[in-house]
């Protein structure tokens, strides 16, 4: 802006504006963001933003005063004489559609000021005055200040007003774009939260239905009470104990532990397919009857596969199939079902087997009196390496106080809220 006004220019000397040659890698990213031709970025659809508020920054107080007076009819213009004053206004919460800054000022140049303003108020459009066009300075102004236009001194009021009109429109578009992005972010976050709630409710609905089926199988086997709750709790204790001891840490994730606690009740779900004449027989089973009884792991797996087909995303159902199919496998291969040996047996089934055995031994059944806690723990430990995974058996012994506490707290004489 010229410091020596001459006649015929509305109080400012005739001049020209320098069209900004914008490098897309350096300029305001908005310039190459939302397409200006979109209807929602035009006319009444645009946000008002900061309106037509303009801030002039120049160390020549008389020049700032003249510019404010000449532009006052078309814009809401304010002026300051130092970069510090300009920054104070932004930091205090003042917002402007456009800031026009001189380049050469004491203490802080215009490029640095506009860079600071970009950080404080990204929607404010930045215009730079300079008396000397230098390519190095221009490159810095584009990359650091993200300016919208250069204006060379001296500059006519008409040229300045034209640039300001374009800058105000740019500000409105930037504000509209930012608000739309924020609304989209809010909608996306809300949708994700809503989807998560629906998934949790669907997952819980799946679990409720399958658990009810598991409970039905237990009741047919004369095994009522809190057996399912105890076995689930024992499985969690064993899983956490194994992980804490450094065993099977690749498998024992938080998801695994959550799933085994939920899938443990499904281990005997296959008994729904065993005839009452076999399942409820009070005496010893014949060899033919044992062949029928030993089909319940396979029936359980088939049942779970049918459920999984309708709900493929529920990981606890997949684990439920594993425990249903493999919970009668023995570590040394002497069990039944698939005839698996050692770690070929799913970890979930190995954990479940120890938990289920301890519970069966320490509770009353039609064919036996309950064993003591100490005797049951000794049995599991004694069968380590034959019937049970040795690591699982060792953890059960190390966790025996927790097992005894849960056994008493969830005894069949204790109601569960």
Assess whether 271 carries a catalytic annotation.
yes
d(CA 401, CA 223): 24
What token pair was written down for 120? 């404080």
Residues 121 and 242 in one domain: no
CA–CA distance from 113 to each of 31, 47, 84, 101, 123 (Å)? 20, 26, 9, 8, 15
200 inside domain: no
Residues 301 and 399 in one domain: yes
Domain that holds residue 162: 29-189
Q: Which residues of 69-101 are buried (b: 16+ CB within 10 A; e: fewer)?
A: ebbeeebebbbbbbbeebbebbeeeebbbbbbb
337 inside domain: yes
* Residue 78: φ, ψ to 5°: -130, 155
Residues 176 and 235 in one domain: no
Residues 234 and 356 in one domain: yes
Residue 91 sits in a domain of what CATH number?
3.40.50.2300
Residues 309 and 170 in one domain: no
d(CA 144, CA 117): 11
Residues 249 and 394 in one domain: yes
CA–CA distance from 91 to each of 31, 88, 127, 286, 308 (Å)? 25, 5, 19, 88, 58
* Active-site entry in 174, 271, 353, 391: 271
Residues 88 and 235 in one domain: no
Residue 80 CA, distance from chain mean position? 46
325 inside domain: yes
The pLDDT of residue 7: 33
Residues 307 and 392 in one domain: yes
What token pair was written down for 400? 């025996």
- Of the candidates 122, 27, 117, 105, the residue with the CA atom closest to the CA atom of residue 60: 105
Residues 177 and 272 in one domain: no
Residues 228 and 152 in one domain: no
202 inside domain: no
Residues 254 and 306 in one domain: yes
Residue 302 sits in a domain of what CATH number?
1.10.3210.10
The last residue of one of the domains, among 139, 171, 189, is 189
The last residue of one of the domains, among 189, 208, 238, is 189
Overall number of domains in the chain: 2
What residues contact 60, with CB distance under 8 A and at least 6 apart?
A: 1, 3, 81, 102
CA–CA distance from 115 to each of 45, 118, 351, 381 (Å)? 29, 5, 62, 71
147 inside domain: yes
252 inside domain: yes
What residues contact 408, with CB distance under 8 A and at least 6 apart?
A: 414
197 inside domain: no
The last residue of one of the domains, among 166, 189, 212, is 189
4 inside domain: no
54: β partners: 77, 98
- Of the candidates 126, 93, 97, 98, the residue with the CA atom closest to the CA atom of residue 112: 126
The answer to whether the pTM exceeds 0.95 is no
CA–CA distance from 127 to each of 67, 102, 114, 173 (Å)? 14, 9, 8, 16
- Report CA dihedral (372, 378, 379, 384) to the nearest 10 degrees: 150
Task: Give per-10-residue mean pLDDT for the chain (417 aa).
Answer: 37 35 39 46 70 92 91 92 94 93 89 90 88 64 68 82 90 84 80 70 67 68 73 96 96 94 88 83 85 91 85 80 94 92 96 95 82 95 96 96 93 59
Residues 247 and 156 in one domain: no
The pLDDT of residue 266: 87
């Amino acid at each position: 802006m010229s410091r020596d006004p001459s006649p015929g220019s509305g109080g400012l000397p005739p001049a020209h504006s320098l069209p900004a040659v914008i490098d897309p890698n350096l300029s305001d990213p908005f310039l190459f963001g939302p397409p200006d031709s979109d209807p929602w970025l035009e006319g009444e659809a645009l946000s008002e933003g900061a309106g037509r508020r303009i801030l002039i920054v120049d160390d020549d107080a008389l020049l700032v005063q003249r510019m404010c007076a000449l532009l006052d009819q078309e814009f809401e213009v304010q002026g300051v004489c130092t970069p510090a004053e300009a920054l104070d206004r932004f930091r205090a919460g003042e917002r402007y559609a456009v800031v026009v800054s001189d380049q050469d000022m004491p203490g802080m140049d215009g490029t640095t000021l506009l860079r600071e303003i970009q950080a404080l108020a990204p929607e404010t459009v930045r215009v730079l005055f300079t008396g000397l066009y230098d390519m190095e300075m221009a490159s810095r102004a584009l990359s650091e200040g993200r300016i919208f236009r250069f204006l060379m001194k001296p500059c006519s009021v008409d040229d300045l007003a034209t640039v300001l009109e374009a800058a105000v429109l740019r500000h409105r578009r930037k504000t509209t774009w930012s608000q739309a992005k924020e609304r989209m972010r809010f909608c996306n976050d809300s949708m994700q939260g809503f989807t998560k709630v629906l998934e949790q409710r669907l997952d819980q609905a799946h679990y409720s239905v399958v658990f009810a089926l598991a409970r039905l199988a237990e009741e047919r086997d004369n095994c009522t009470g809190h057996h399912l709750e105890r076995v689930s709790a024992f499985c969690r204790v064993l899983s956490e104990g194994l992980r804490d001891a450094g065993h099977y840490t690749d498998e024992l994730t938080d998801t695994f532990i959550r799933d085994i606690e939920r899938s443990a009740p499904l281990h005997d779900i296959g008994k729904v397919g065993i005839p009452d004449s076999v399942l409820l027989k009070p005496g010893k089973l014949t060899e033919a009857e044992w062949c029928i009884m030993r089909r319940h792991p396979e029936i359980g797996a088939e049942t779970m596969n049918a459920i999984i087909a309708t709900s493929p995303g529920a990981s606890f159902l997949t684990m439920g199939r594993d425990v249903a199919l493999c919970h009668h496998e023995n570590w040394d291969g002497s069990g039944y079902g698939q005839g698996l040996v050692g770690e070929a047996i799913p970890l979930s089934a190995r954990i479940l087997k120890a938990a289920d055995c301890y519970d069966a031994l320490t509770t009353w059944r039609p064919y036996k009196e309950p064993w003591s806690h100490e005797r049951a723990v000794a049995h599991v430990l004694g069968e380590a390496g034959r019937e049970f995974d040795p690591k699982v058996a060792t953890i059960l012994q190390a966790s025996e106080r927790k097992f005894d506490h849960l056994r008493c707290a969830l005894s069949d004489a204790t109601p569960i809220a």
